[in-house]
Amino acid sequence: MKFVTANGATIPALGFGTFRMPGAEVLEVVPEAIRKGFRHIDTAQIYGNEAEVGQAIAASGVTRSDIFLTTKVWVDKYQRDAFVRSVDDSLKKLRTDNVDLLLLHWPNDAVPLAEQIGVLNEVKKAGKVRHIGVSNFNTTLMAEAVKLSDAKLVTNQVEYHPYLDQTAVLQAARKAGMSVTAYYAMADGKVISDPVLKAIGASHGKTAAQVVLRWLVQQDGVVTLTKTSTLSRLPENFAIFDFDLSADEMAAIHALATPGGRIVSPGGLAPVWDKAA
């Protein structure tokens, strides 16, 4: 396993995400993912599966302290009192005294960003979270959040895959000492049949999906999430640390990005995104 260091946090570069995983699926797959080597588990309040994630970690046979656990506060809980209550509720569901990383899930200007960042710092000072960060922030919001926070922010979790140029966010994160955590790495399954990715994979004896995960973690300061509901695919998803992509291969994958490559941009949540470099 490779690790990414960012503003005092040491984050396993490959995480297992639980977005759109029903509780029963979490209970079946997550313990096995941990046994196969995953040590970074990502969930969120809005996923509705924190309780099952906590149960799955307990059932895995791996000590909780050996797992890097991330959750996210949903946008309707950003006012100070609701925020604190929601974090306490998450900890109870996750069966833990603290999480390793707590993120603001999406921007929400109904509550001042200063209040959001202030309570993030408050729960960190209280020992309920070890590290704090944001998700789905553009570079302007990232810079404002960094300026408002007493504690260092360690990541911005964003959509990132070969078809979406995230150069602006990557550069801003590196300048602030932060990591970028990539979600939707498979671009809703599009990467699986991509001829460029398949050809690169064939030259390494790897799948297109493995090539994309490798491409992400091979970039400076990038963490990536992967997910599967198929137990037999867990070893494949984890087997990305035994090969390297050449500079030409990395460039060829970057070149797949298109202006319309973004997939996730929900109305009422998404900020004004940064334009591709």
Task: Choose, from 47, 78, 163, 183, the residue flagged as catalytic.
Answer: 47
**How buried is 16 (Cβ within 10 angstroms: 0-12 exposed, 13-18 middle, 19+ buried)?**
buried
| H runs (alpha helix) in the chain | 23-35, 50-59, 80-94, 113-125, 139-148, 167-175, 195-204, 208-217, 234-238, 247-254
Is 161 marked within a binding site?
Answer: no
3-state DSSP helix/strand/coil % of the chain, to nearest 5? 45, 20, 40
Is 160 tagged catalytic?
no
Query: What are the backbone dihedrals phi and psi of residue 72, each rounded to the nearest 5 degrees, phi first?
Result: -135, 140
Measured CA distances, 99 to 4, 70, 126 (Å)? 18, 6, 12
* Residues with active-site annotation: 47
Binding-site positions? 105
Q: Output the known binding site for substrate.
A: 105
